[in-house]
């Protein structure tokens, strides 16, 4: 199975107060950590939703679904079977997580819905979803497609929404 990795990085970082993708952790940006952590699990990695990467589809400011949609279409056009995603604020992608997510249909990690597995066959469905009147919530999308929610406590990922979340991660022994 050909897998494309996608780092969803188009958020506004409103709770963080600055571009959290560029926040530093151990001498590297969170975005660099996210790319490096998902890379061993996929054939190649794209960054979605920011300059130099894939533009959100169908338009900017679509939230994580705009980045996912761009990744799905990019993957489909290049012969990939599916996309593995992570957020730009998730500096780790544990060994075994990809295997837990990959299956017959879409799946996400409970509590970290940006860590997901998305067959490229969902591209047209996501186009339709984003064209409709809705709040573009990832939860609404998951419900619409009947995504599998993976509950695996060993895959607790850091949730960095505010500067103090990053500080706690840095200070963790």
- For the stretch 98-111, what's the b/e string if a residue is b when 16 or more beta carbons lie within 10 angstroms of its beta carbon? bebbbeeebbbbee
Closest CA to 71 of 99, 92, 36, 44: 44
**Cis, peptide link before residue 89, omega less than 30° from 0:** no
User: Where is the binding site, in residues?
Assistant: 8-10, 20, 61, 89
Number of C-alpha atoms within 13 angstroms, CB side, residue 115? 29
Joined tokens for residue 108: 């996400």
Query: 152 and 100 in contact (C-beta within 8 Å)?
Result: yes
- What does the chain come to in residues? 173
Question: Which residues are part of a known binding site for GTP?
Answer: 8-10, 20, 61, 89
Separation CA 114–CA 129 (nearest Å): 17
- Which parts are annotated binding residues for Mg(2+)? 89
For 94, counting Cβ atoms within 10 Å of its Cβ (0-12 exposed, 13-18 middle, 19+ buried), the class is middle
């Amino acid at each position: 199975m050909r897998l494309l990795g996608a780092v969803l990085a188009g958020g506004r970082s409103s709770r963080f107060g600055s571009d959290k993708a560029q926040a530093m952790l151990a001498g590297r940006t969170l975005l660099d950590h996210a790319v490096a952590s998902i890379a061993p699990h996929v054939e190649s990695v794209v960054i979605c939703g920011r300059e130099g990467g894939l533009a959100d589809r169908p338009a900017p400011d679509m939230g994580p679904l705009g980045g996912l949609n761009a990744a799905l279409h990019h993957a489909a056009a290049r012969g990939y079977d599916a996309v593995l995603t992570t957020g730009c604020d998730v500096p780790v992608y544990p060994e075994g997580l990809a295997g837990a997510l990959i299956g017959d249909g879409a799946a996400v990690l409970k509590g970290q819905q940006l860590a997901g597995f998305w067959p490229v066959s969902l591209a047209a469905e996501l186009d339709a979803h984003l064209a409709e009147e809705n709040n573009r919530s990832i939860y609404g999308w998951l419900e619409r497609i009947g995504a599998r929610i993976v509950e695996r406590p060993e895959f607790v990922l850091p949730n960095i929404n505010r500067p103090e979340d990053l500080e706690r991660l840095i200070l963790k022994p």
